[in-house]
Amino acid sequence: MRLFKKVAVYTISRKTLGKAFNVACRSRLSRMFIKPYIRLYKIDRKEIRHPSAYKSLTDFFVRDIDPGLRPIANGRNIIVSPVDGTIADLGFAQGKKIILAKKNFYSLAELLAFPNVDSLQDCYYMNIYLSPRNYHRIHMPFPAQVIHHQYVPGQVFPVNKLGVSTVKDLFAKNRRTCTIFETKGGAKFALIKVGALGVGKIISSYHVGEKIPKGREIGRFEFGSTVILIFQKDLFKPSKFLTVNQQIKMGQKIGSFLE
C-alpha cells in the first residue's frame, strides 16, 4: 500500500500534468466545475460571489474576500495569521532545525535557501496548511520591511497528509518563495510560501526594501499550498490557544513581539 501511495504521489506531481492542469483550469469551460467544487469542499457561500462572476476555476480559487469578514487583530505588538488554514505543526526549533510532518527534521538554511540564519536559530515556527476550500490569498502578519526574498525552484508534490507522509523532505523539495522581514524594532521573521500539487504557482506582490503594513495582501497561491512562519524565539510570544490541527483565519492573533 505504501508503494502504491508513493507511485501515485510521484505520478500526479509530474510537471507536464501540472501544465495541462493549469491550461484546463484557466479555460472558460472550467467554470462548469465551480459549483461542484463549492459543494465538494463545502465552501461558505457567504464568502463568495455568485459562481457565474468568476471567469474560470482558477479565478474562483484565487478569489478575493470582503475585508469585513477577516478583521485584523489590533494591537501594536500583535502578530496575525497571514492565511486561512489548519495548523499542521508548531513549536520551538532545536538549534537550526525545525520539525515538520511527523518528526522530519529540516534545517533552516535548507528551507530558507539562505545561509545566514543565525538570527533565527532556536526559533518558534508554525506550519499552516491551506486546503482546497480555503481562501488562498496571503496577508502581512506584522508591519515590517522586506530584507531578503528568493524564489526556490522545485517539485509540486501535494502538501496534504498523503504527500507529507509519502515524500521525505517534501517542504525542502517543493518550489517555494522565502522572505525574511525586519520590524521597526529590529525583530526578524521569515515567511515561506510552499507551492504544491497542480500548478504550484506562487505570486508575491512586494520587493526587497519595501515596508509593508500589517494586513496588506502580499501574494496568493494557485492550487495547493502551505505557509511556514519562523520567528526569533527570544522576541516572540505565541498565543496560548494555538494547537496542532486547529483551524485559523487570516487576521486572527497568533502571537506578539516582546518589548
Catalytic residue among 56, 81, 225, 256: 225
Q: Could you give the 3-state DSSP secondary structure of residue 96?
A: coil
As to burial, measured by CB atoms within 10 angstroms (0-12 exposed, 13-18 middle, 19+ buried), residue 96 is middle
Q: Residue holding cell 521597526? A: 184
The reply to whether 225 belongs to the active site is yes
**DSSP assigned state of 155:** B
Neighbours of 76 (CB within 10 A): 9
Task: Give the separation between CA 118 and CA 7, rounded to whole angstroms.
Answer: 38
Closest residue by Cα to residue 234 from 122, 125, 126: 122
Is 84 a catalytic site residue? yes
CA distance 193 to 178: 7
Identified catalytic residue from 81, 139, 149, 256: 139
Q: Is 66 a catalytic residue?
A: no
Contact 201, 223 (CB under 8 A): yes
How far apart are alpha carbons 35 and 31 in whole angstroms? 8
R_g (Cα) of the chain, nearest Å: 18
Q: Which of 13, 30, 81, 84 is catalytic?
A: 84
Q: Are strands 137-139 and 211-212 parallel, antiparallel or unpaired?
A: unpaired
Active site residues: 84, 139, 225
